[in-house]
Structure 1
Amino acid sequence: MLLGLSGWFITAAGAAGLAGAAAGFNYLLPSATIRLLAIVRTGARYGERLAGHAAAFAVLAQVRPALYRAIAGSPPAAALALTSGEASARLVQDVGAIEMAIARRPARAGAAAAIAAGGLLILSVRPVAALLFLLLAGMAVGLTGWSCRRLDEAGQEVQRRQGALRELLGLQLAAAPELRCYRMEDAAIARIAAADAALADARRRQAAAGGAIEAIGALATGAAAVGVFLLAMPAGTALAALGALTAAAAMDGIMPALRERAARSATREAAARLGALFMPDPPPFPKPRSAALTLPGVGTLVPAGARIAITGATGTGKTSLVEAMIGLRHHDAPGIRLGDMPLAALPAATLRAIFAWAPQDAQLLAGTVRDNLLLADPDAAERALWDALDAACLAGVVRALPHGLDSWIGENGEQLSGGERRRLSLARAYLSRAPWLLLDEPTEALDAPTERAVVERLTQRLARTGQGLIAVTHRDAVAVLCTVHVSPATCRAIDPGTPHRAVRVLAPVD
């Protein structure tokens, strides 16, 4: 509309000059009005974008945490099948597509307003010209819908290829040291290049289909301007020019909606990929009446506060049993019960409230020491953080860092040594208020003096908190803490001469 008004002003000024009335023509008022409208237009566009992106960010502030919770709380089969690269693609790329779709949504209302305003203004010039404009606008929308059928497949393919490339990059970067060591960089680069070439091919096909939509918009704009001008000529050259410029401006207002329609295929693919991560809410499940464990064999009840060592040769299923206890792996072993309920029937949320886990391969956040500790208890006071670090024999190391608890430890704790990472994972488990500590090789990679100190402080902590201990271990220093020794390989208790000598545990199946 501003373009039409500017055209009218220029045409009128020219006509006044040709008529010899330039001296009496007041050009200041129309010029000032056009400038005012230009400022209003700029502010309106800025406000529209600000409002659109604000709405998108408000939605994403809920979507991304919900998506992260869905990934973290998904069933074991789904969680283990989802690589870190694929999870990153879902959280970044697919959510980004949804963000753009939300930001572009006002384009539909804008297009409707442009058609209505343009049609009414052209109608005031000449009705038949307005009819032509509306016909061309409808044809542009219809042809765009037809062209989008070709674009849909290309857009979905681009979305899938982008996800595959992100996943591959994540996998290759994670294995970068091994690739260098075994001189496999060229093979890795070739795989990445092949994935990138497939993505580029899909993008070319998408660009070709998208170019057709841009061409439809450009042709519709030109046809509308010329057609309206010719049909409006009987009303005078100035009004015909006003009608032509109005038609071009209104068609330009339709283009964002056409582009939004073209992007829907990628949006649908992103929504489908994200939707696959959200599982229906499980039905309400009763909580176990106690945290005591019932183990197979003679059905002995192991009370909370007991100490159990799971020992045995590599490959006998120790870690898989531990992962089943916190819901990371499906486990059908009969007879293992938590309170009065079978372990295998309990939801992951219940299991993770019962067991505080320190895994064999500790995974740490790319953040600070504090960030990693607060995963276990977001409300933990600073004194509790230091107590947990002290129990894991890591407080001195953290105090020596440049910023203490707020020191950055890098991707997966790369600023720390292997033993320090393991002890930070152990401190994180100590912060949990769960009745059982579930520790998988807690002193692996520690030197003998550090191991003795960690075991001594663990003993003191267990005595103070009354927590139970289930430890997978090959180390005698940890095994001697435990009053119940279990060998998954033989399904028999190793009798250490304690009151729990009758306990037996059925081996999980790997």
Structure 2
Amino acid sequence: MTDASPERSGGARRLWRRAALFAAAALLCGVLLGGLSAWFLGSVALAGLTAAAYSFNFHIPAALVRLFAVGRTAARYGERLSGHHAALSDQTTRRVALFRAMAAAPAVRSAGWQLADQARLADYLDDVEDLDFARLRADLPALLLAAGTAAALVATACIAPLALVPIAAWLAVLAVAARRLARRGALAWEQARALRRDGAQRFGAAMAAVVPLQAEGRWAGHCAEALGRFSRADEAERTLRLSQSGLDALASLLGPLAAVSVFAAAWHGGARAEALLVPAFLAFSWFALAEAAQGASRMVVATLRRRAAQAGIDRWTETRARSAAPARAPARLATLHSAAWQRRAPNGRPLGGPLALALRAGRPTILTGASGIGKTSLLKQIAGWTGQDVLESEAGPLAAADRRAASMFCPHDAAILADTVRANLFAPACPDEELWQALEAVELAERIRAAGGLDGWITQDMLSLGEAQRLNLARAWLSAKPLVLLDEPTEHLRADQGLRILGRLLERLQDRVVVLSSHGVEALPGAETIRL
């Protein structure tokens, strides 16, 4: 699931390698700083007791201590800058593919291009962030901590082998605690997510019905019930943080335990005076390494949040469905037909009896009927947005995925991106002359010139409903898809203006299969009307 170009992917890999090098340098400088400081202090103490104090050169170790201190600070800043740059670079490539997958999900196709479910969208955005930064928060620190621990264990085995027994035992305790945190934390985090989502939906429903709920005296109760979900979610997160603090407390004891074990093992092995300097170096290196281990709980939580996020995104985008055979979209269509087409609501519920459907290029089909009768649902079904029906064509049977790839669906509520007019026309390959021709056809050219031309910046709030609808129809004008579906194309337009624009558009699309739904337009020259 990636749209990354080779150059961009290579750049991200280079950034991650740079971040890993900075992180390794920070850890190495920290370990050397701790070990050398202990060795230096021990050497000064021993030299101070003898005549060697007069000839002891403390400048070199003192300079190294400063060097490692400055190096650790600089490497940490480098790790943060490179790591965040790498994570943000990943976002620019990953989010395009993730949002494309989300836009193709059946839940979104059934609702329209607008996502509608704000609580679910908020969860989705949080999930994307958890995926993007898990590598920075969990993978990289865990890898370096594992490498540093392995190196410290090897050094301990060479210098103070007996110390391995308590150190290994404590590492086993930490592993068990981490597994327990992962198991309990996954349950707590999933519970918190579910409660927060439920609370948001309940509160949103209450906010949408403030007046009737207040009139019935039920407003306070609904709000209290919704906010209670948020309180329970906070309680679940508090439980998770308490579990984290337990693991961090155990991790904080690793340094002192390892240091004491190394000293005790060296002393037991007969090391005295100068012979204790090397074990002292190792013991305080364990102290520095244990400092990094105190972030173990954050690594565990980042990992379980990534798993929950991936599961949520998989459910939202239905990746298993997308792994099916690629769509087979014909370049041209002359006919689409079905002898007994069962209309369905977006949730799959049957609507009415079977319908004989015969769509032909050059003969627009108008769907009419009362509001709520299912005109938009039928357009989405023809477009392949909902259901798994098959329509026959001169090129053979077309499944839902094939029709999605071959259709341009123009919803009645146009979504305007906060971007340039050029980007909002969805036709990057068209020359400027053709873009202006489309804007002239929908009687929007003068308004766009006043807004700054094709490269002028527009937002949803800058355009009226009628202007947004005309920009929507300009997209249909510029589309090269063989199947064009227009949902209430004259809505928000004056009757005479709507008929003029629609006439031009249908003349432009006379070689395509065109289906439109309408309340105000029930008959057009050469069109067939289906009353639902």
| Bin of the TM-score, shorter chain as denominator length | 0.7 to 0.9
Structure 2 CA distance, aligned partners of 1:369 and 1:461?
21
Aligned partner (choices 365, 370, 385) of residue 435 of structure 2: 385
Aligned partner (choices 369, 388, 394) of residue 339 of structure 1: 394
Counterpart check, 1:371 vs 2:423: yes
- Aligned twin of 1:359: 411
Describe the shift of the 1:453–1:301 C-alpha distance in structure 2 as closer, same or farther (beyond 3 A). closer
- Aligned twin of 1:156: 190
CA RMSD across the alignment? 3.6
For 1:135, the aligned partner's letter is: A
Q: Contact conserved, 2:335 with 2:513, CA < 8 A, in 1?
A: no
Describe the shift of the 1:213–1:50 C-alpha distance in structure 2 as closer, same or farther (beyond 3 A). same
Counterpart check, 1:279 vs 2:320: yes
Describe the shift of the 1:459–1:327 C-alpha distance in structure 2 as closer, same or farther (beyond 3 A). closer
Structure 1 CA distance, aligned partners of 2:173 and 2:367?
73
- Aligned twin of 2:36: 5
Describe the shift of the 1:450–1:302 C-alpha distance in structure 2 as closer, same or farther (beyond 3 A). closer
Structure 2 CA distance, aligned partners of 1:166 and 1:65?
26
For 2:256, the aligned partner's letter is: G
User: What are the superposed Cα offsets for residues 103-133 of structure 1, whole Å, 9 maximum, x if unpaired?
Assistant: 2212333223222332344455433234433
Counterpart check, 1:409 vs 2:452: no
User: What are the superposed Cα offsets for residues 158-208 of structure 1, whole Å, 9 maximum, x if unpaired?
Assistant: 444455567678x57xx97x6677797978865663343233112101101
Aligned partner (choices 86, 89, 105) of residue 74 of structure 1: 105
SS in 2 for 1:458: helix
Describe the shift of the 1:201–1:102 C-alpha distance in structure 2 as closer, same or farther (beyond 3 A). same
Q: Contact conserved, 1:437 with 1:467, CA < 8 A, in 2?
A: yes
SS in 2 for 1:279: helix
Give the TM-score, by structure 2 length.
0.76
- Aligned twin of 2:376: 319
Distance apart, 1:418 and its partner CA? 1.1
For 1:357, the aligned partner's letter is: F
Structure 2 CA distance, aligned partners of 1:76 and 1:141?
41
- Aligned twin of 1:244: 283
Aligned partner (choices 488, 491, 496) of residue 531 of structure 2: 488
Counterpart check, 1:100 vs 2:133: yes
- Aligned twin of 1:35: 66
Describe the shift of the 1:378–1:25 C-alpha distance in structure 2 as closer, same or farther (beyond 3 A). same
- Point out the more displaced range, 444-453 or 43-52: 43-52
Q: Contact conserved, 1:85 with 1:168, CA < 8 A, in 2?
A: no
- Aligned twin of 1:506: none
Q: Contact conserved, 2:259 with 2:287, CA < 8 A, in 1?
A: yes
Counterpart check, 1:306 vs 2:353: no
Distance apart, 1:6 and its partner CA? 1.3
User: What are the superposed Cα offsets for residues 145-168 of structure 1, whole Å, 9 maximum, x if unpaired?
Assistant: 234333232233344445556767
Describe the shift of the 1:415–1:26 C-alpha distance in structure 2 as closer, same or farther (beyond 3 A). same
Counterpart check, 1:461 vs 2:527: no
Distance apart, 1:446 and its partner CA? 1.6
User: What are the superposed Cα offsets for residues 369-400 of structure 1, whole Å, 9 maximum, x if unpaired?
Assistant: 333212xx332322222222221111111111
Structure 2 CA distance, aligned partners of 1:79 and 1:52?
39
User: What are the superposed Cα offsets for residues 382-427 of structure 1, whole Å, 9 maximum, x if unpaired?
Assistant: 22222222211111111111x33344433xx122111111111111
- Aligned twin of 1:430: 477
For 2:393, the aligned partner's letter is: L
Structure 1 CA distance, aligned partners of 2:526 and 2:301?
67
Q: Contact conserved, 2:131 with 2:309, CA < 8 A, in 1?
A: yes
User: What are the superposed Cα offsets for residues 238-275 of structure 1, whole Å, 9 maximum, x if unpaired?
Assistant: 53543431221232343445542343322221121122
Q: Contact conserved, 1:154 with 1:202, CA < 8 A, in 2?
A: yes
Distance apart, 1:321 and its partner CA? 1.6
Q: Contact conserved, 2:523 with 2:529, CA < 8 A, in 1?
A: no
SS in 1 for 2:362: coil
Structure 1 CA distance, aligned partners of 2:388 and 2:288?
65
Distance apart, 1:308 and its partner CA? 2.4
Aligned partner (choices 114, 126, 132) of residue 160 of structure 2: 126
Question: Alignment identity in percent?
Answer: 32
Q: Contact conserved, 2:410 with 2:473, CA < 8 A, in 1?
A: yes
Give the TM-score, by structure 1 length.
0.79
SS in 2 for 1:398: helix
Describe the shift of the 1:242–1:325 C-alpha distance in structure 2 as closer, same or farther (beyond 3 A). same
Count of aligned pairs between the two proteins = 471
Distance apart, 1:445 and its partner CA? 1.9
Structure 1 CA distance, aligned partners of 2:235 and 2:74?
39
SS in 2 for 1:433: coil
For 1:384, the aligned partner's letter is: E
Structure 1 CA distance, aligned partners of 2:96 and 2:148?
37
User: What are the superposed Cα offsets for residues 284-336 of structure 1, whole Å, 9 maximum, x if unpaired?
Assistant: 5655683323365998965312222222333333222212121223386x9x6
User: What are the superposed Cα offsets for residues 69-96 of structure 1, whole Å, 9 maximum, x if unpaired?
Assistant: 2222223688549754255335421122
- Aligned twin of 1:474: 519
Structure 1 CA distance, aligned partners of 2:384 and 2:81?
43
- Aligned twin of 2:22: none
SS in 1 for 2:320: coil
Q: Contact conserved, 2:252 with 2:293, CA < 8 A, in 1?
A: no
Counterpart check, 1:235 vs 2:271: yes
User: What are the superposed Cα offsets for residues 56-77 of structure 1, whole Å, 9 maximum, x if unpaired?
Assistant: 4565455323322222222368
Q: Contact conserved, 1:307 with 1:470, CA < 8 A, in 2?
A: yes
Q: Contact conserved, 1:459 with 1:481, CA < 8 A, in 2?
A: no
Q: Contact conserved, 2:473 with 2:489, CA < 8 A, in 1?
A: yes
Describe the shift of the 1:235–1:243 C-alpha distance in structure 2 as closer, same or farther (beyond 3 A). farther
Gaps of 5+ in 1: 490-510
For 1:98, the aligned partner's letter is: L
Describe the shift of the 1:16–1:86 C-alpha distance in structure 2 as closer, same or farther (beyond 3 A). same
Distance apart, 1:430 and its partner CA? 1.3
Distance apart, 1:3 and its partner CA? 0.9
Structure 2 CA distance, aligned partners of 1:7 and 1:429?
74
SS in 2 for 1:404: coil
Q: Contact conserved, 1:70 with 1:279, CA < 8 A, in 2?
A: no
